[in-house]
Structure 1
C-alpha cells in the first residue's frame, strides 16, 4: 500500500512538472528574443495571450528602467514593443472594466487585438478588451 501511494504521488508530481514545461520553455524563449530585439532588461510578468492570434506577453523594465511591454506573435515571430507610460495602465484598464460591469478581476494580460495593443481583463467568464492607446473598451467577450 505504501509503495502504491509513493508511486502515485511521484507520478502526479511528474505530470504537474510536465504541464509547466511549455510555459517555462515559452518564457525562456520569449525572454531571449525580447532581450535580443527590444530594450527589455528585467522581466516582471509573463503570460500567454490567446485572442485571434497567440502571443507571448512580457511586462518588465527597459535598460533605462522604463516600464515596457513586449508582445511576440507565436506564429509569425513578429515583435511589438510598447512603453507602458504611453497608454492606459493596467490598474486603469481594470477600473474601466469594472465600470463596464466586471466583478472581481481574475487576471489581466497585455495583448494584441484587431491591429492594436490591449489589456485583456478577465472577470469570471467575461473578457473585457481595453484599448491601450485609446483608453476605451474595445469589446466584451464571453458570458
Structure 2
C-alpha cells in the first residue's frame, strides 16, 4: 500500500462532520439537563461548580502567559497546546465522573464540575473546535 493509499484508508472510516457534530450536540443536551438537575437538587455549590466547569478548560490559555511567540489568528501559543489538549479530552472528566460514581465520596459539586467540564468540551466540538496541532492550530 502506498502512502496515498494509507492516508485514504485512515480517512475513509471517519464519521461525516455533520454526524459527529450531531452526536456532540445530543451529548451536550444530555449534559446540560443533567448538570441543571444537579444544580436544582444540590444548590448553590453545584451551580458554582457548573459555572467553574464551563470555564476551567479554557484557563489553559494562561499556560502561555509570558510567551513572546508571535501567533496568527486562530493559533494557540505552542507552550499552551499540551495543557489545552489535555483539558479538552473527553475521556478525562468522563473517567473521573465514573470513578466518582463508584466511590463513597458525597461531593455533588465535584460531580457537577465534571459534568460541566464535559459539557464545555461538547460545546467546543459542536462549534468546530477540536484538539490542537503542536503548532497551535485546530486539527482538521
Q: TM-score normalised by the shorter chain: which range applies?
A: under 0.3
Q: RCO greater where, 1 or 2, for CA within 8 Å and sep 6 or more?
A: 2
TM-score normalized by the length of structure 2: 0.27
Q: Which has the higher strand share?
A: 1
Q: Which has the higher helix share?
A: 2
TM-score normalized by the length of structure 1: 0.26
